[in-house]
Structure 1
Amino acid sequence: MVVAGVLFDSRDAEFIADPYPTFADLRRRGEVHWHDELGLFVAVSHAACSAVLRHRGLGRIWSDVRPVAEFASFNLLHRNSLLENEPPTHTRLRRLVAAAFARGHVERLRPWVGDLAARLVDELVERIADQGSADLLDHVAGPLPVAVIAELLGVPDGDRPLLQPWSNAIVKMYEYGLADDRRRAAEQAAREFVDYLRGLVAVRRREPGRDLLSDLVAVTDSDGARLTEDELVATAVLLLMAGHEATVNVIGNGVLALLRHRDQWQRLVADRGLLASATEELIRFDAPLQLFERTATAEVEIAGQVVRPGEKIAALLGAAARDPAVFADPDTLDVGRSPNPHLGFGAGIHYCLGAPLARIEVEAALGALLDRLPDAEVAAEPRRRPEFVIRGWRELPLARARTR
């Protein structure tokens, strides 16, 4: 049975603080529901969410933000994005981007990421020694993924501070009911980012390097086709936004979860062999991306609910991740959980190309914290970001545990 109505208020602070009891109640009442506020169906079981992500009758169908003239750059990035297109355009884009990725960039960066994570955590520890506490997000979780994507793309060192503010502003547009000033800020950030990347692409055409952007400029498919300049720019922006926003929040959400479940933190302190399974569990336990939309291109049935052409349905990934039909004791954090078929990187043709790199970043950050700050504790109550779709914290102050 599908229940319609106001299932939850996506702007309510209490719901945002802990949406999981609401999700559990919705799962008990049915697998798919109509949400009045969001204007779409929401899938809440793991099976229904997986079907939403995989069904070829459901696609990422981009619709320009309006007024179109006022959001030219934001719309350009999404019209040309791998994530916002379906076959045959998606097939061509993914083939070309995957071919560029396949030139060893992820493994090339693995030792560099480990060294960077260690340096950032060393700086965090020094600040804690000097000041008594320091913010994990400011000093580790935020700068790490931005630096990694900048290194991956070959962004010059002096330009790298530009990237995180652009990403932060643009992704606000994925929330519901965004204020007009935030919408204008997102378009301005998109315009500045597009202009910057056009310049960097021009440099890489003249002076190719060992970076991914140079390979994206050069890559061709079997027919000799290349990425257009707009597609190059959109791909670079997608890599930054997806790579930064997901990773920073996996690290932030995950470290807080571990410190609030001290027995699991101590398991990792004692056994680094659990880092890989812990990374998957942190993605599952407090999902950094809570909702992902699809639009029906044909009549589709998901868990008994018919979705007609043009109607939208979203996978509530945080709900899927706590489904007891798939995960034993789903509200329990278990860093050794196996198997762990979470949907945090998507599924089907839109499965995240950057998943291997994200895993390397999270493992490197966790490993460095465990090595250098095994006695970490939360220094003060963290402040949560007020958004639902992208779930994370404004700050997470850490300190060394007091000797008792």
Structure 2
Amino acid sequence: MTDSLSIENVELSAPLPAFDPSLVEIVTDPYPAYARYREQDPVHWGVSALAGYPGAWYVFRHADTSAVLKDERFGKARRAAAASDEATTVKPSIPDAAKPYFAMARTWIAHRDPPDHTRLRDLLRPHFAAGAVQRLRPVVLGIADQLIDRFEGGRSDVVADYAAVLPFHVVAGLLGVPEDDWPRLVDWSIPMRNVGVLTTEQTWRLASEAVTDFAGYLGELVQRRRAEPADDLLSSLITAREGGEFVDDDELVANALFLVFASAGLYTTTALVSTGANLLLTHPDQRAALAGDPALIGSAVHEFLRLEPPLQMTNRTAAAHVRLGDREIHPGDSVITILASANRDPQVYADPDRLDIARRRQPHLTFSAGIHTCFGGPMAALEGEVAIGRLLERLPGLAPAGLAEWNLTGSLRLLRTLPVTY
């Protein structure tokens, strides 16, 4: 018998073309398209973002998206669906250049289902709980000041000189990476910021080289810390490994790498700091409101995250028959929740396309929901508060020095450059 989620059925209007997240017009400005599908066909069968799949279900509304993310019948690992006799036999086609990247990514906590996900979450999440993160505020402030002190010549790029560097310095210090090696982490992050729906063979090759090189470096650091433990996160993870909480060193290394690249910097924090700065530069009324009441920085950060989420969408695989509205989802079907569309749902947010840093807090889905809620969220929010607040405080004359350029990959929405004068 088919179960049904408590989601309102939708009366469909004129048919829409199959949603394709790789179309240039959608990648360039996705929000008008999201609004059309959210209103007319909120659970929509469209073009798969992965070669080899016949298609995918795209979910556009806040209620639907939240329901899918919290429902245990939708998993991250395809093996959950493969256990069913009814599961599809279609497999994604992965370019050869991308295989090293995917081999590493499959081990990350973000791509695991219980019980492996539960084990890793219980091990890693306490290090990024709100209380633990708040103790890092002076550290983040010191790093922000050091980076701003390096600005020179009255002109800078907020992405390259600030937003793409600060979160890596924070998490590298927390993990125990020697300071002389921090620039290498930044260099390895650059090709990974280009991974997405529109990833080219060359980009996959560079991203695969980056994760391979960093994993090799981190493996060597694990051996050094095992011989000479220190007061850092990596030493704590090695102790957990000795206690059997990691399957092996490869799992430890892969998830330490995930903490640096994904959970603590690559996507959310780099994008948050640069996009938040850009939104304030292009909305002088909101910038003035923040200058008049600096205590609004907390709500401002969550408004930036709601309005321009770095990760536009996230995928799940159905492990059972599920009914979404008037749509039947089958085991093995790919289901892609459009977080960025859910965050602009007028059923949840008044005037959802407007930036309002004093907006009453509503549950945005930028950090996902359910068991896969990003445990790096509190750190991202803290770094955003400190980095954006300090940038405006130290450089009150900050102004655009040209158009910001987006790094358009489809699934990720990140600024490539944000030139400013000060």
State the TM-score, normalizing by the size of structure 1: 0.90
Q: Decide whether aligned partners of structure 1 residues 170 and 84 sit closer, same or farther in structure 2, where only a CA change above 3 A counts.
A: same
| Correspondence for 1:25 | 36
1:10 counterpart SS class: coil
C-alpha deviations, 1:36-74, integer Å up to 9, x for none? 253211111111111121111001015898669865642
User: Does the 8 Å CA contact 2:27/2:409 hold for their aligned counterparts?
Assistant: yes
| Correspondence for 1:287 | 309
Given the alignment of the two structures, is residue 88 of structure 1 paired with residue 115 of structure 2, yes or no? Answer: yes
Stretches of structure 1 that go unaligned for 5 or more consecutive residues are: none
| Correspondence for 1:232 | 252
C-alpha deviations, 1:100-133, integer Å up to 9, x for none? 5569752342211011112222333xx2xx2x42
Given the alignment of the two structures, is residue 44 of structure 1 paired with residue 44 of structure 2, yes or no? Answer: no
Q: Decide whether aligned partners of structure 1 residues 306 and 256 sit closer, same or farther in structure 2, where only a CA change above 3 A counts.
A: same
Q: How does 1:139-178 map to 2 (within 5 A)?
A: 139-173=161-195, 175-178=196-199
User: Does the 8 Å CA contact 1:73/1:194 hold for their aligned counterparts?
Assistant: no
Given the alignment of the two structures, is residue 200 of structure 1 paired with residue 212 of structure 2, yes or no? Answer: no
| Correspondence for 1:241 | 261
**Counterparts of 2:46 and 2:94 in 1: how far apart (Å)?**
25
| Correspondence for 1:191 | 212
C-alpha deviations, 1:276-313, integer Å up to 9, x for none? 10110000011111010001111122233221111111
Q: 2:144 aligns with which of 117, 122, 145?
A: 117
User: Does the 8 Å CA contact 2:78/2:317 hold for their aligned counterparts?
Assistant: no
Residue 387 of structure 1 and its aligned partner are, at CA, apart by 1.4
| Correspondence for 2:74 | 58
Structure 1 vs Structure 2 CA RMSD: 2.3
Stretches of structure 2 that go unaligned for 5 or more consecutive residues are: 1-10, 50-54, 80-90
| Correspondence for 1:263 | 285
Q: 2:156 aligns with which of 134, 144, 147?
A: 134
User: Does the 8 Å CA contact 1:293/1:315 hold for their aligned counterparts?
Assistant: yes
**Counterparts of 1:203 and 1:34 in 2: how far apart (Å)?**
50
2:347 counterpart SS class: coil
| Correspondence for 1:311 | 333
**Counterparts of 1:68 and 1:205 in 2: how far apart (Å)?**
36
Q: 133-142 or 67-76: which moved more?
A: 67-76
Given the alignment of the two structures, is residue 6 of structure 1 paired with residue 18 of structure 2, yes or no? Answer: yes
1:83 counterpart SS class: helix
**Counterparts of 1:336 and 1:102 in 2: how far apart (Å)?**
25
2:317 counterpart SS class: strand
User: Does the 8 Å CA contact 2:321/2:331 hold for their aligned counterparts?
Assistant: yes
Q: 2:236 aligns with which of 207, 212, 215?
A: 215
C-alpha deviations, 1:190-210, integer Å up to 9, x for none? 211111111111112112212
2:354 counterpart SS class: coil
**Which runs of 4 or more aligned residues in structure 1 lie more than 3 Å from their structure 2 counterparts after TM superposition?**
1-5, 62-73, 99-105, 170-173
Identity %: 37
| Correspondence for 1:179 | 200
Counting matched residue pairs gives 391
- AA of the residue aligned to 2:187: P
**Counterparts of 2:128 and 2:343 in 1: how far apart (Å)?**
28
| Correspondence for 1:345 | 367
2:315 counterpart SS class: strand
Q: Decide whether aligned partners of structure 1 residues 100 and 271 sit closer, same or farther in structure 2, where only a CA change above 3 A counts.
A: closer
**Counterparts of 1:29 and 1:20 in 2: how far apart (Å)?**
14
- AA of the residue aligned to 2:37: L
- AA of the residue aligned to 1:48: D
| Correspondence for 1:398 | 420
2:416 counterpart SS class: strand
User: Does the 8 Å CA contact 1:281/1:340 hold for their aligned counterparts?
Assistant: no
1:214 counterpart SS class: helix
Residue 165 of structure 1 and its aligned partner are, at CA, apart by 2.7
Residue 348 of structure 1 and its aligned partner are, at CA, apart by 0.5
- AA of the residue aligned to 1:363: E
User: Does the 8 Å CA contact 1:54/1:347 hold for their aligned counterparts?
Assistant: yes
2:268 counterpart SS class: helix
| Correspondence for 1:34 | 45
1:41 counterpart SS class: strand
**Counterparts of 2:128 and 2:144 in 1: how far apart (Å)?**
22
Q: 60-69 or 73-82: which moved more?
A: 60-69
**Counterparts of 2:97 and 2:301 in 1: how far apart (Å)?**
40
**Counterparts of 2:116 and 2:21 in 1: how far apart (Å)?**
36
